[in-house]
Structure 1
Amino acid sequence: MEPSPEEAGCDRARLRSDAERNRARIIEAARTVYRREGLSASMASIARAAGVGIATLFRRFPTASDLVAAVFEDAMEANRKAALAAREEPCAWDGFRAYVETVCALQADNRGFAEVLAMSFGTAKGMERARQEAFEAFTELVARAKAEGRLQPDFVGEDLPILLMANAGVLAVAGDAAPEASRRLVGQMIRGFAVGPAEALAPAPPPQRLLRGMVRQRRTAG
């Protein structure tokens, strides 16, 4: 007996709902696995963490880069908006500082984001556009901040990825104290980039808190 049009419509709606739940479950599992294992984590380990079969995962995300793009899409868009907003600041140095702080905070919330900024997303055109727009805005901002005499003349765009790599190291080992330690590091680096009076730094985490965080992070990783 053929299902009625109403029954068929309900079946299609249930399938769509199941597919969306699976997609959300996979993305959330991938976010957790990437935080723990890095972006080189296998698709099989992500499928296990999501509680879905590997075939289901590949139906939703045919390649690893498709999955990475889905996980980091919101962060990449936030990065784009931050770069465009920074470029519009009347004082380029203020925009430069705000953007560096924002991209490092995005990294703290989305482990692996520094790697994503350097990846190629052939099929995810939106990710490519967002990254390119952010890069172009940041390049303009750097030139303006140098022209103002507020940014060191030998600063180059590659200095930002170097800062992100250093920040990744802090985030990886500082445990519970990571947010405070990251803000302190970023403040120190911005000081190094600046020309002119030194700016106030965020307070460093107390030594005991930093040590406890590092110990707890090692135990978790082990």
Structure 2
Amino acid sequence: MTDRLPQKLRADAEDNRERILASARTLFADQGLGVPMREIARHAGVGPATLYRRYPTKQALATAAFAEQVRACEEIVEEGLAAADPWQGFCLVIERICELHIRQRGFTDAFLATYPDADDLESRELTLKSMATLARRAKAGGKLRRDFRMSDLVVMLTAHRGLQAATPAVRVAASRRFADLTVRAFSA
């Protein structure tokens, strides 16, 4: 029998995993994906070997750390697709994605990064295809600019990633303003 049974982590190993993921989320949110793996291990209170044994690459760590945000992104796009008015759905997606990204700065980098081996690559591609469908519907309704391209969203997310502010509340306010200006720019 070559198939292995799923192995439940020991309590201390599970605790280490949770601390590593929490530290990665915090540091990625504060500093982006450029934060060194050793700093994440130090912040989590584990040795580098413990971190690398569980997450051998930063890609694997970022994928695990942002799994919830990827699911949230999928749900936001699904909610936008379900809206009766495609333009309102499109606007909702822009606003909610900006809010999600401003709260987790590293998520934008992780979502836009090209990780060919990432576990979530298929779901990211599906999310982008769903967003393209929503954009086509909003264009057909005459509310989204005819010259809008999906690459415009990448430009928007890249620009949004640069928002800086002294406090989280000011960052959120700046993000909302950015989302509003983006919606206006995309409007027909």
Fold-level match, TM-score > 0.5? yes
Residue 134 of structure 1 deviates from its aligned partner by: 0.7
Partner of residue 173 from structure 1, selected from 154, 165, 169? 165
**2: distance between equivalents of 1:116 and 1:184?**
23
**1: distance between equivalents of 2:106 and 2:44?**
19
The 1:149–1:174 alpha-carbon spacing in structure 2 relative to 1, beyond 3 Å, is farther
Please tell me whether residue 111 in structure 1 is matched to residue 90 in structure 2.
no
Partner of 2:144: 151
Query: Is residue 83–residue 99 contact of structure 1 (8 Å, CA) maintained in 2?
Result: yes
Corresponding residue SS for 1:40: coil
Amino acid at match of 1:173: A
Partner of 2:3: none
Partner of 2:78: 84
Residue 174 of structure 1 deviates from its aligned partner by: 4.9
Please tell me whether residue 29 in structure 1 is matched to residue 23 in structure 2.
yes
Please tell me whether residue 128 in structure 1 is matched to residue 121 in structure 2.
yes
Partner of 1:192: 185
CA RMSD, 1 decimal = 1.8
**1: distance between equivalents of 2:114 and 2:159?**
22
Query: 1:148-201, CA deviations, whole angstroms, 9 ceiling, x for partnerless residues?
Result: 10001111111112222222222x235341111210111011012112xxxxxx
Partner of 1:213: none
Partner of 1:63: 57
Q: Indicate the structure (1 or 2) with the bigger Cα radius of gyration.
A: 1
Structure number with higher relative contact order (C-alpha < 8 Å, ≥ 6 residues apart) = 2
Please tell me whether residue 137 in structure 1 is matched to residue 105 in structure 2.
no
Corresponding residue SS for 1:151: coil
Residue 136 of structure 1 deviates from its aligned partner by: 0.6
**1: distance between equivalents of 2:24 and 2:99?**
20
Give the unaligned 5+ runs of structure 1: 1-11, 196-222
Amino acid at match of 1:136: K
**1: distance between equivalents of 2:131 and 2:29?**
27
Amino acid at match of 1:165: T
Partner of residue 164 from structure 1, selected from 157, 182, 185? 157
Partner of 2:176: 183
**2: distance between equivalents of 1:174 and 1:152?**
34
User: Alignment identity in percent?
Assistant: 36
Paired residues, number: 181
Residue 129 of structure 1 deviates from its aligned partner by: 2.1
**2: distance between equivalents of 1:161 and 1:136?**
14
Residue 122 of structure 1 deviates from its aligned partner by: 4.0
**2: distance between equivalents of 1:63 and 1:49?**
17
Give the unaligned 5+ runs of structure 2: 1-6
Query: Is residue 174–residue 181 contact of structure 1 (8 Å, CA) maintained in 2?
Result: no
